[in-house]
Structure 1
Amino acid sequence: MRYRAVVTLAIGAAVVASIAGCSNDTGGGGGETLTWATVTSDKTAAKEAAAAFEAETGISVEVTASGVDEYQTTTRTQLSSGTAPDVFFVWAGDGNPMAMQVVSDAGLVADLSDMDFTSRIPEGFKSVSQNGGKTYTAPISSAGIGSAFNLTAMEENGWSIPTTWSDTLAFCGEAKAAGKTAFALAGATPWNTQLISYALAPTLVYGPDPDFAAQMSAGDVTFADSAWVDVFDKYLAMQDAGCFQDDALGTVYEDALDMVAKGEAMASVQVNASLAAIRQGAAEDTEFTLAPLPATDDESQTRMAAAMGAAYGINAKAKNPEGAKKLIEFLTSDEGQSVYNTPIAAIPALGSSTFEPDPALDSLLEYLESGKTDPFMDQLWPNAKVQQVHFEVVQQLLAGDVDAKGALSQMDAAYAEG
C-alpha cells in the first residue's frame, strides 16, 4: 500500500511489519490505575488509545494533557519529586527539558531495549530514540510542519494556496485587504513561535546544505553566519506584508487555531496534529489541508519539515511499571498505531496495515515520498536552551527589539554551551 512506500522511502524503515495486538490478560497492572501524561495536541489520540487499551486489557488508564510549555515544566518537576505519571510524552533526540537525551541522561526514564517494538524502529529514528545504544522511547507518530489551510474558506474568498514566496506575500496582502488574516500566529504561546522558522528552514538552509547540522556540531558554521539569517528575515517579511493578525504576539495557540476553524484566518503554520484541534471548532463540512510554506520563487526548491512526532517513555520510578509496559506494547502494535494516529491526522511511526492516511496529509506524504523533507531542527541541537532561546528571540524579532543576526547570535551562544 502507498503508506508503506512512504515510510520506507522517506523515513528509512527497512520493514513495516504488522504485529498482533497486546494480550487480553488483565493481570500485570497490579490493580492500580495507570497514569499517562501527554501534550494538548495529542490529547484526543491518547484518550481514544486509552479507551481501546482499557477495553482490550481491563487496565484502567487516567490521561492528563497540558500545553507544551506547562507540560515540560510540570513533568520535570514531578519526575524530580517522584510524583510523575507512569507513562509520559517524550520528545525525540535533544533540544528541550523533556527530550529523550535529557531525561535518559538524568535517569528519569526506563530502558525499553528488551521490548519487541525496538526491532521495528526506522533507521532514521534510532538516533533520536536511543542513548548509549539503549532505547528509551517508543516512537508512535511521524509528524510534519506546514500551513494548515481552511480550504473551504479559501474557496469562498476565491483564493488558492500560494506555491511561491512572492505569491505568499501577495496572498497576505489580499487577505488583509479583505479583512481576513492569511496566517494566524500564536505569538503568545512560546513553542508556536518556532514553527514558521522550521517551515522555512528546510528550503533555505537544510535542502541546499544537507550537512549543515553536522557542520554546526563540528563548529564550522553558525546560525548568525548562515542562511538562517534568510529564515529570520523572511519571517519578518511576512509580518511586514501583513501576513499575521493584529496583536499576533498576544495571541495564544487555541485562539489562533480557532481563527482558522472559523475562517477568520485562512491558515496557521502548525504541526499536523493541530489539524484535529482546528476541526473541532469548525463547521462539519469544512475541508482542511497541510501545505508547504514556500520560501523561494522556485516551487521545485520547496521542502517541508518532517520527523518523529509523538513518542512515549516509562517513568523509571513508575508506580505501575507492568501496566506501563503493556500500554507501550499496545501503542506500538498494529492496532495501537492506527488508533492513536487516526484522530490527530498523524502518520504511524512504526507502520500499520489498518491505517488510512487523512486526505489533509496528501502534500506531506508526497513530500516524504519524494525525499523533500528535513528533520525538526531542534532534535539534534546539543542542549535544551537553544530551543528556549529560539522562542524568546522570535518574540524579540517580531517586536522589533532585535534584528535577525542579533537574534541568531543569541542562539549561537546557547548552542556553544554544548
Structure 2
Amino acid sequence: MKLSGCNLPGITVMVFVMLSSSSTSAITNFNVLNFGAIPTGGTDSTDSFLKAWNAACGTADSTFIYVPKGRYLVGPLAFKGQCKSSQIIIRIDGTIVAPLDYGVLGKSNNWFSFEDVSGVSIIGRGTFDAKGPSLWACKASNSNSCPSGATTLSFTNSNNIRINGLTSLNSQMFHIVINGCQNVHLEGVKIIAAGNSPNTDGIHVQLSRNVEILSTSIKTGDDCISIGPGTENLWIEQITCGPGHGISIGSLAKDLKEEGVQNVTVKKTVFSNTQNGLRIKSWARPSNGYVQGVRFIDSVMRNVQNPIMIDQNYCPRNENCPGQVSGIKINDIVYEDIRGTSSTPIAIKFDCSDKNPCTGIKLQNVNLTYLNKAAQSFCSNVVGKAIDLVRPNSCL
C-alpha cells in the first residue's frame, strides 16, 4: 500500500493565501531580505538566512520564510530544531550559490543541514548551486589535499518533512540525505550533476521510516537513489534516472551490526544510459543485516549496463576487498514488468552469498534484450521462481 503523503498542491495554495492576505494572523512571515540578505550573489548572506530561521523557529505561530528571486551567496548552515513553531514553510524562488572557494563547503559535512526539526516544508522553484565541478576536478587530479565535500541538503533526526519543486545543481557530494527521519515527502525535485562527478548520490535514505520520493528527475555521477541500513516503508515512484548508477539498496555490510531494509517499493521508473538499473549490493562481510519485502514494478531500461542485479560481493575497483562471505540475508524480492535494453550481455545477475543464499526472488513479465537479441542471466546461490514471460531465460 502506498504511504500517506502531504497534499503538496494544497501547500502551494496555502502559501499563496499567506502571501496575498494580511488578515491571516496565525501565520508569521519572514523575508530573508529583511534580515540583510543581498540578492546579487556577491555578498555573504549566511548570517541573514540563519537570523530568519532563528526568528521563525522562536515564534509560536506557524511561520513562513521567503527567499525571493535573486542570487544569494551562502556558506554552511545548521538549522537547529526544538522550535516553538510546529510548522515552518520555507519558499525558495531564488538561487542559493556556494562560495567560489570549494574548501568553504568542502570541509563541512553539509551545506544546508536541518537537525531535530519537525513540520518543515521547503518548496518553490529555486535552486541550490553548490559549484561542485572545482572540487570534482581536485579529486580527479588524485591530490591528497582535496576535502571530502559537503552534502547539499541534509535532514537528521527530523519528522514530518516536505520538499517540493526545488533543483539541486552540482552538489559537491550527495545532493539530499534523509537520515534518522520519519514521515518525509519529496516530490517534483530536479537533481543535476555530471555523469562523472564522484560520490554525488542524488537522494540517500537511511535509518528512516515512511518516506516517499515521487516525480523526480535525477542526473548525477553516482546512485540516483541509494537506500541504506535501517530504511523501512519507502515508496519511490515516477523517477527518471540517468546518467547515474541507478537505484541501489546498499551498499550494505559496511558494519558487522546493521539494521535491516524492509518494505520498499520502486515503481514507474525510467533508466537511461545508467551503470545499473535496480540493484541490491552488499560487501562480503559477515554483517547481521537483511533486505526483505522489496517490490520493483514497472521499470523501463534504456541501454543500461546492469538492469537487474544483486551483488553480495560488492567491491568497487576491486580495491581492499574484504574477501569474506556476506552475512546479509536477502528475501522476498519481486521484479515485475521490467522491460528494455541492456548494454551488456548479462541483463539479470544474482550473485548471492554462499552463507546466506538469496531466497524468495520472483521474476514476472520481464523482457530485456541486448543488441536486439537475447540477453543472458547469471545466478549464484539464489532460490526463486519465474512467472509468465521472462527474457532472458531465467536461471532461477
TM-score (norm 1): 0.23
Larger Cα-atom Rg = 2
- Which structure carries more relative contact order (alpha carbon 8 Å, separation 6+)? 1
Higher strand share: 2
